């Protein structure tokens, strides 16, 4: 009778390990839209918000229960094998091997597959039980939070949530919805990439997209008409910065179309000052979202980027900004840029000095 009770106990412990392992995997990576839809369908929509908000606590609780279930499996197997006359080392070896075999299936393989294919349904089916269990193990979760804050402080990250954390969670939710849409065929790959670019747009600064100072094509303020025409023709650019002395003193922007009315003038009478427009300056730390707004308000398409000392760090155009959303924009006049990283041989690569590490 004792043997059968022990066997039954091992089976129950293995079942609990399977359940809590599945819940742990599912809670770590679930689709919010699918979970919301399932909870609405079964009439438990009021649990959606607390499940999302407290999902880290729920993961911790299920992980504790999973560990306890696996310990019970080991104890049960030790008790069963203890009836046989085995040496102590052989008893422990066989017990560990059997426990490892059971937990491999009940704690890893099967739960992972279940969470992958029906994780939201598993969470939704046990959502009341999960929140009840969280309340029962509230002291343990509070201890977990205290340890988490202590480790965060020791790592120099502070113990409080980052100010942008709720915003980050909203962004992650949007990305999750887009990912689900792509899987279901509602959103194609290009649309997904564009939406992701928009989400990350506000975190991008001017310095990350600008044309660096060494790559700027510019004209001196005393440039002749022939020199201006040659630079515009060779570069293919429609807007050329004009500098006085050095690039640190850019005084204006020459638009190629503004040059048309000067083509009939005698070359010796040409003065680039009469053709150029005022330059617009921005700091290299300005977010792209703010820069785009400035372009709209100032009605300009190019800005000179200044570094912290007021020198010219580069230039940025509205095309650079839009490329962060829609990808590279090339026209028939723009030469094909060489690859930033080229493979020379099996162990050697050649990288452009501008490549980001």
Three-class DSSP category at 210: coil
Q: How far apart are alpha carbons 86 and 77 in whole angstroms? A: 13
Contact 341, 355 (CB under 8 A): yes
Contact 288, 205 (CB under 8 A): yes
The domain locations on the chain are 2-154, 165-201, 206-351
The number of helices, as runs of H, and strands, as runs of E, in the chain is 13, 9
Three-class DSSP category at 54: coil
CATH class of 206-351: alpha beta
Residues 6 or more apart in contact with residue 307 via CB below 8 angstroms: 284, 313
Q: What is the pLDDT of residue 167?
A: 54
β-strands 281-283, 302-306 pairing: parallel
Strand ranges for the chain from DSSP E: 211-212, 219-220, 239-243, 250-255, 281-283, 302-306, 312-317, 341-345, 348-351
Q: What is the pLDDT of residue 72?
A: 92
| pLDDT of the chain, 357 residues: tens digit per residue | 477 888 888 899 999 999 999 999 998 888 777 888 888 888 888 888 888 888 788 888 999 999 999 999 999 888 888 777 777 788 888 888 998 899 999 889 999 999 888 988 999 899 999 999 889 888 888 888 788 778 877 776 554 444 445 555 656 666 666 666 666 666 677 666 766 666 666 678 888 889 999 989 999 999 988 899 899 988 888 899 999 989 999 999 999 888 888 877 788 888 888 889 999 999 999 888 888 888 888 888 899 999 988 899 999 998 888 887 776 655 555 555 666 688 888 888 888 776 666
Q: What is the pLDDT of residue 321?
A: 84
Three-class DSSP category at 146: helix
Q: Give which of 245, 244, 308, 309 is closest to 279, Cα–Cα.
A: 244
């Amino acid at each position: 009778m004792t043997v059968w009770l022990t066997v039954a106990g091992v089976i129950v412990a293995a079942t609990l390990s399977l359940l809590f392992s599945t819940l742990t995997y599912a809670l770590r990576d679930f689709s919010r839209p699918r979970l919301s839809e399932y909870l609405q369908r079964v009439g438990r929509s009021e649990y959606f918000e607390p499940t999302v908000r407290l999902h880290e606590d729920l993961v911790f609780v299920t992980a504790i229960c999973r560990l306890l279930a696996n310990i019970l499996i080991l104890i049960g197997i030790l008790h069963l094998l203890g009836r046989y006359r085995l040496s102590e080392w052989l008893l422990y070896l066989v017990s560990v091997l059997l426990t490892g075999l059971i937990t491999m299936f009940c704690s890893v393989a099967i739960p992972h597959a279940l969470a992958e294919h029906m994780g939201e349904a598993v969470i939704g089916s046990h959502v009341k039980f999960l929140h009840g269990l969280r309340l029962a193990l509230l002291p343990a979760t509070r201890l977990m939070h205290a340890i988490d804050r202590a480790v965060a402080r020791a790592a120099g990250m502070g113990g409080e949530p980052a100010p942008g954390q709720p915003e980050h969670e909203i962004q992650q939710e949007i990305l999750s919805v887009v990912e689900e849409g792509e899987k279901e065929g509602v959103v194609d790959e290009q649309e997904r990439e564009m939406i992701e670019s928009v989400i990350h747009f506000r975190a991008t600064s001017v310095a990350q997209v600008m044309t660096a100072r060494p790559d700027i094509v510019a004209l001196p303020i005393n440039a002749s008409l022939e020199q201006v025409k040659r630079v515009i023709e060779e570069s293919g650019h429609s807007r050329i910065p004009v500098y006085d002395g050095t690039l640190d003193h850019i005084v204006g922007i020459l638009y190629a179309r503004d040059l048309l009315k000067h083509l009939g003038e005698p070359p010796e009478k040409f003065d680039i000052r009469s053709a150029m427009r005022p330059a617009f300056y921005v700091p290299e730390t300005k977010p792209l979202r703010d820069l785009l707004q400035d372009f709209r308000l100032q009605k300009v398409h190019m800005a000179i980027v200044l570094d912290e000392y007021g020198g010219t760090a580069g230039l940025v155009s509205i095309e650079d900004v839009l490329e962060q959303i829609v990808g590279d924009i090339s026209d028939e006049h723009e030469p094909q840029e060489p690859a930033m990283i080229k493979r020379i041989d099996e162990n050697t690569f050649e990288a452009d000095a501008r490549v980001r590490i």
